[in-house]
């Protein structure tokens, strides 16, 4: 069972909200959050610490620049707040990853509902590594991701963030309701008693998709060459250097990955070929 119907439990607020496009959220004790210089696997900025208890609502969320928003974050399904010292994590990584909301119910996921977002395309990074339990996995998804992929996340802390071990990345379409939903559940067949974790998440509204525009200035030009090369050779470096752009703009042939297979298409875009 997933958590769609629980939306009905809540009445929507009627006030006109401020819009926020980028949020960093650490799930765990309200006094523990990474520093604002910490990027995780996304972009740096202010981190909100929320407990995300079952059937709770969190207000007072600030965006990555520290500006107040009217975003509301609700959680249904996850029942256990867990803090465990992972021997590998330290510093800001530890503040994010050693604390999580856990479900041990194979038919009920930890379900996050983010309300009052501006409609559009978003990147969602969901942290779902069970601290100090490298054998435990989570089944992560977003209702707003086209095709609704279920992504398995888990493993031993690799020394830094690594996709599919510490987090999953989702491209989500937020519609007119302004609602974005994220889930972490038991992988089918895995022992439910070990649980599935959600340590936190980052969401970021993406700029309008323009293939080949690697500096997000709205045009494809020679000014994008450096960004394209960086995206191809050092994806984390590209993300760090272009926090408001979208590395998918380098996927010229639209096969889902940025690779040497995109070089010819990029040259053709630049030369009008
Ligand atoms: Ca450009
Ligand atoms: Ca490609």
The CATH number that applies at residue 104 is: 2.60.120
Question: What is residue 177's predicted lDDT score, i.e. its pLDDT?
Answer: 95
* 11 lies in the same domain as 115: yes
Ligand 1 centroid to 249 CA: how many Å? 10
Ligand 2 centroid to 168 CA: how many Å? 19
* 145 lies in the same domain as 259: no
Number of domains in the chain: 2
Structure tokens at 220: 């494809």
Cα–Cα nearest to 177, from 113, 115, 121, 111? 115
Question: What is residue 73's predicted lDDT score, i.e. its pLDDT?
Answer: 98
Helix (H) or strand (E) holding 91: helix 91-97
Question: What is residue 3's predicted lDDT score, i.e. its pLDDT?
Answer: 67
Ligand 2 centroid to 265 CA: how many Å? 9
* 49 lies in the same domain as 181: yes
Structure tokens at 35: 């520093």
* 152 lies in the same domain as 83: yes
Ligand 1 centroid to 212 CA: how many Å? 7
Assess if residue 211 is contained within a domain. no
Taking ligand 2, which is a single-atom ion, which protein residues have CB atoms under 5 Å away?
251, 253, 255, 262
* 120 lies in the same domain as 38: yes
pTM of the model: 0.85
Structure tokens at 82: 């867990």
* 8 lies in the same domain as 51: yes
Ligand 2 centroid to 165 CA: how many Å? 23
* Mean pLDDT in order along the chain per 10 residues (273 residues): 49 43 95 96 94 96 94 97 98 98 98 95 96 98 97 98 96 95 98 97 92 95 97 90 89 94 97 81
Ligand 2 centroid to 252 CA: how many Å? 5
**Domain membership of residue 256 as a residue range:** 222-271
Question: What is residue 83's predicted lDDT score, i.e. its pLDDT?
Answer: 98
Question: What is residue 214's predicted lDDT score, i.e. its pLDDT?
Answer: 97
Question: What is residue 8's predicted lDDT score, i.e. its pLDDT?
Answer: 42
């Amino acid at each position: 069972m997933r958590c769609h119907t629980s939306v009905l439990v809540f009445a929507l607020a009627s006030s006109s909200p401020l819009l926020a496009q980028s949020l960093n959220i650490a799930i765990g004790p309200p006094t523990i959050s990474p520093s604002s210089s910490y990027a995780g696997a996304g972009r740096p900025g202010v981190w909100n610490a929320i407990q995300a208890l079952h059937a709770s609502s969190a207000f007072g969320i600030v965006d990555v620049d520290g500006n107040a928003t009217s975003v509301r974050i609700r959680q249904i399904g996850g029942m256990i707040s867990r803090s465990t010292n992972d021997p590998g994590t330290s510093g800001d990584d530890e503040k994010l990853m050693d604390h999580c909301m856990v479900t041990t119910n194979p038919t009920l996921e930890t379900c996050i509902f983010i309300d009052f977002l501006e409609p559009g395309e978003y990147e969602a990074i969901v942290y779902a590594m069970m601290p100090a339990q490298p054998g435990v996995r989570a089944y992560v998804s977003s209702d707003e991701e086209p095709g609704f992929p279920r992504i398995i996340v888990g493993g031993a802390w690799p020394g830094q963030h690594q996709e599919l071990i510490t987090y999953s990345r989702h491209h989500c379409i937020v519609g007119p309701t302004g609602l974005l939903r994220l889930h972490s559940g038991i992988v089918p067949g895995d022992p439910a008693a070990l649980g599935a974790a959600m340590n936190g998440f980052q969401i970021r509204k993406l700029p309008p998709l323009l293939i080949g525009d690697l500096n997000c200035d709205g045009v494809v030009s020679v000014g994008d060459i450096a960004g394209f090369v960086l995206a191809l050779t050092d994806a984390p470096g590209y993300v760090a250097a272009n926090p408001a752009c979208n590395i998918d703009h380098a996927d010229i042939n639209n096969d889902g990955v940025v690779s040497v297979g995109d070089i010819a298409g990029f040259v053709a875009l630049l030369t009008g070929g």
